[in-house]
């Protein structure tokens, strides 16, 4: 009973504009509260701050494989033997065609994602051509995910129709060195700050289930809150053969739901977006959409299978979301 009252008090404080602070009783409440009550309170926060609009995003792998970075979870890293598909930057016409097809399926956002630490030269020019074409021929909001870029490059993206940039922190500052050594956590932070300075919205989240603790996830969520990001994708690790994390045990659904709820408490106004790994959850993550999540990446991921768009639309509609 005491725990329920403490959770209720915390929820009311956030509804009144308060915050959750690290290394306080607040975090113990989030980690120890009854899961059902925690999820119900997170859904209440979602409804209050974000309403009932559900947001669906889909991505295209614009350039695959041969990545110079050593991220331990990734099939596209040149450090790992995964037999991931490799190809150069796709023609703009092919990307525009896919964007228009996805728009017909009812998504709200479309993003080109490319492998590599950054993008430049002819590939960047091809990306700008694709964004110009999509901006002219579709009404979708456009997102971009091309690694670490300069302020000038972010301005170019915005000039050519992009309104949101994606750059995952991936995990906490403490755990990041166990995930990647070819770029740093601060590289990510500074990249996000450059994108914001250029006037772009920010999509940034991470992957859970890589061996990090719940405290690591909370630390990342608080950093995202400090950056005031607009959208937070939560990926559940899909262990890929040939990567250093191939034998990592999958998370149980209860832990995924608690993580989603905690992220809502720490980022009450952001889109909390279910991403990779959702297709192993019961009913494609139905409970998570009642635990603080209000968005999803739909369709196939970069190197793993995702959820069908129409099924996601029907699920969200059944749960009371609007998708216009």
Residue 302 pLDDT > 70, yes or no? no
> pTM of the entire structure?
0.93
pLDDT tens-digit readout, 184-195: 999 999 999 999
1, pLDDT greater than 80? no
- Tokens 């995910």 found at: 145
Closest CA to 74 of 47, 133, 66, 58: 66
Kindly report, residue by residue over 96-117, the tens digit of the pLDDT.
Answer: 999 999 999 999 999 999 988 9
Per-residue pLDDT, averaged over 238-261, amounts to: 92
Contacts 24+ apart (CB under 8 A), 117-124: 117/67, 117/68, 117/69, 117/147, 117/148, 117/182, 117/183, 118/146, 118/147, 118/148, 118/149, 119/63, 119/146, 119/147, 119/149, 120/153, 122/89, 123/63, 123/88, 123/89, 124/153, 124/156
Pick 53 or 284 by higher pLDDT: 53
């Amino acid at each position: 009973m005491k725990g329920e009252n403490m959770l209720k008090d915390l929820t009311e404080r956030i509804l009144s504009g308060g915050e959750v602070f690290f290394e306080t009783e607040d975090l113990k409440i989030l980690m120890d509260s009854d899961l059902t009550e925690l999820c119900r309170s997170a859904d209440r926060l979602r409804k209050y701050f974000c309403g009932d609009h559900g947001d669906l995003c889909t991505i295209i792998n614009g350039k695959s494989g041969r990545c110079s970075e050593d991220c331990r979870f990734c099939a596209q890293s040149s450090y790992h033997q995964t037999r991931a598909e490799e190809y150069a930057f796709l023609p703009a016409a092919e990307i525009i065609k896919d964007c228009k097809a996805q728009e017909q399926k009812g998504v709200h956002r479309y993003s080109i994602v490319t492998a590599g630490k950054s993008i430049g030269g002819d590939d960047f020019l091809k990306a700008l051509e694709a964004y110009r074409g999509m901006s002219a021929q579709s009404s979708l909001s456009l997102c971009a995910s091309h690694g670490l870029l300069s302020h000038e490059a972010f301005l170019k993206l915005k000039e050519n129709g992009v309104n949101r940039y994606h750059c995952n922190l991936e995990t906490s500052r403490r755990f990041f060195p166990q995930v990647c050594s070819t770029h740093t956590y601060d590289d990510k932070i500074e990249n996000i700050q450059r994108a914001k300075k250029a006037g772009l919205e920010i999509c940034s989240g991470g992957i859970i289930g890589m061996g990090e603790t719940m405290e690591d996830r909370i630390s990342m969520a608080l950093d995202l809150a400090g950056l005031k990001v607009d959208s937070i994708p939560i990926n559940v690790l899909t262990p890929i053969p040939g990567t250093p994390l191939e034998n990592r045990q999958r998370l149980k659904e209860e832990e995924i739901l608690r993580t989603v709820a905690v992220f809502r408490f720490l980022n009450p106004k952001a889109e909390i977006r279910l991403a990779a790994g959702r297709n192993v959850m019961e009913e494609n993550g139905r409970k998570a959409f009642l635990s603080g999540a209000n968005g999803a990446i739909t369709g196939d991921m970069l190197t793993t299978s995702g959820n069908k768009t129409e099924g996601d639309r029907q699920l969200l509609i059944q749960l009371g979301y609007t998708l216009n």
